[in-house]
């Protein structure tokens, strides 16, 4: 009995008096995941491991992220997720249901996304892939989610790690942004003060690696790389022959624009969303002097040669 109580023991810190309303019992999570069995492992990475579970009583399917003891961010990363997405609500964000702590173990509990991570559909065999209609739906969802983070929520949220492996697909194949462990947030109208270079190589904006300063423009850069990733080298053959050529061209152009080396040349997520929804054309974006090349972008309804 003593060993069992120790095994399921929990702890409570001061910060949890404000953010602890969604605290879940370790005992319930332990039984939901059948003791965190390997057969229920959904994935793993630098953050730790994620397990599938079913909550006792409600039968709700969940995903439990056990943050690694050796995680670089540790408790700070853990609290960041609770504070940020715990108070947000948007159909293109993975909802955080609650959390748990025990003896240095950090657990985050989410709605289970039955179709898993987007990257497996882009890089696995052709038998597991998405056609163009499904891909543009995911792109629209991610753009909508980022716009919410940058402009619609009560604070500005910089995700910092936008990439295909951090996009999960729900049962209807809607794209949902996941993993806010590196996110930063600040009041509208103020400047972010981050000075650390964090994120994933290949998605890091040049100015971020030089100054360590993460902004909404650095998220836009990562989103641009993400767009090119989803279309895959001009056109992924796994998309098949049924696709809208103009839509594919638009997404490629937006990907190049958003991932431009000059942050002033990038669009905002509001502008990107307008283009994707056909409320605006690329030519409607403000012309900017791309000083390094001397090119003008958006002057005509086409890309300058």
Q: What is the pLDDT of residues 106-139, one digit of tens each?
A: 888 999 999 999 999 988 766 678 989 999 999 9
Q: Are residues 131 and 173 in the same domain?
A: yes
Determine the pLDDT at residue 289: 39
Q: Are residues 31 and 81 in the same domain?
A: yes
Assign 3-class secondary structure to 144-183. Answer: HHHHHHHHHCCCEEECCCCCHHHEEECCCCCEEECCCCCC
d(CA 128, CA 238): 9
H or E element at residue 133: helix 132-147
Question: What would the mean pLDDT of 37-65 be, rounded to a whole number?
Answer: 88
Q: Are residues 132 and 257 in the same domain?
A: yes
- Active site residue ranges: 161
Binding positions? 65
Query: Domain holding 208: CATH number?
Result: 1.10.510.10
Domain ends where: 59, 91, 111? 111
Query: Domain holding 90: CATH number?
Result: 3.30.200.20
The count of structural domains within the chain is: 2
Binding positions for ATP? 65
Q: Are residues 268 and 167 in the same domain?
A: yes
Q: Are residues 147 and 288 in the same domain?
A: yes
The range of the structural domain enclosing residue 68 comes to 2-111
Contact 112, 62 (CB under 8 A): yes
Q: Are residues 62 and 32 in the same domain?
A: yes
Which band of pLDDT confidence, cut at 50, 70 and 90, is reported for residue 186?
A: confident
Q: Are residues 248 and 124 in the same domain?
A: yes
Which band of pLDDT confidence, cut at 50, 70 and 90, is reported for residue 43?
A: confident
Of 177, 193, 195, nearest in space to 269 by CA: 177
Q: Which residue has the higher pLDDT, 17 or 118?
A: 118
Sign for the CA dihedral angle at 147, 153, 155, 160 comes to negative
Q: Are residues 248 and 146 in the same domain?
A: yes
d(CA 14, CA 61): 30
């Amino acid at each position: 009995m003593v060993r069992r109580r120790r095994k399921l023991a929990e702890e409570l810190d001061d910060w949890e008096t404000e953010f602890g309303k969604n605290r879940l019992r370790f005992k319930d999570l332990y039984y939901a995941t059948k003791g965190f069995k390997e057969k229920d492992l959904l994935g793993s990475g630098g953050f730790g491991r994620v397990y599938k579970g079913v909550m006792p009583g409600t039968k709700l399917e969940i995903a439990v992220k056990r943050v690694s003891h050796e995680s670089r961010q540790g408790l700070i990363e853990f609290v960041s997720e609770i504070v940020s997405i715990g108070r947000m609500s948007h159909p293109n964000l993975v909802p955080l249901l609650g959390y748990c702590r025990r003896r240095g173990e950090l657990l985050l509990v989410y709605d289970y996304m039955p179709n898993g991570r987007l990257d497996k559909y882009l890089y696995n065999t052709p038998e597991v892939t998405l056609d163009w209609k499904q891909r543009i739906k995911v792109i629209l969802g991610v753009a909508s989610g980022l716009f919410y983070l940058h402009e619609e929520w009560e604070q500005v949220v910089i995700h910092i790690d936008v990439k295909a492996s951090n996009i999960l697909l729900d049962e209807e194949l809607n794209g949902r942004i996941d993993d806010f462990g590196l996110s930063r947030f600040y009041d509208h109208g103020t400047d972010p003060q981050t000075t650390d270079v964090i994120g994933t190589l290949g998605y890091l904006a040049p100015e971020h690696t030089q100054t360590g300063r993460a902004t909404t423009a650095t998220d836009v850069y990562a989103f641009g790389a993400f767009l090119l990733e989803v279309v895959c080298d001009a056109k992924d053959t796994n998309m098949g022959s049924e696709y809208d050529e103009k839509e594919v061209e638009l997404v490629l152009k937006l990907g190049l624009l958003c991932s431009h080396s000059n942050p002033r040349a990038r669009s905002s997520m509001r502008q990107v969303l307008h283009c994707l929804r056909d409320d605006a054309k690329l030519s409607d974006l403000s012309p900017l002097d791309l000083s390094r090349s001397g090119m003008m972008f958006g002057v005509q309804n086409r890309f300058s040669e």
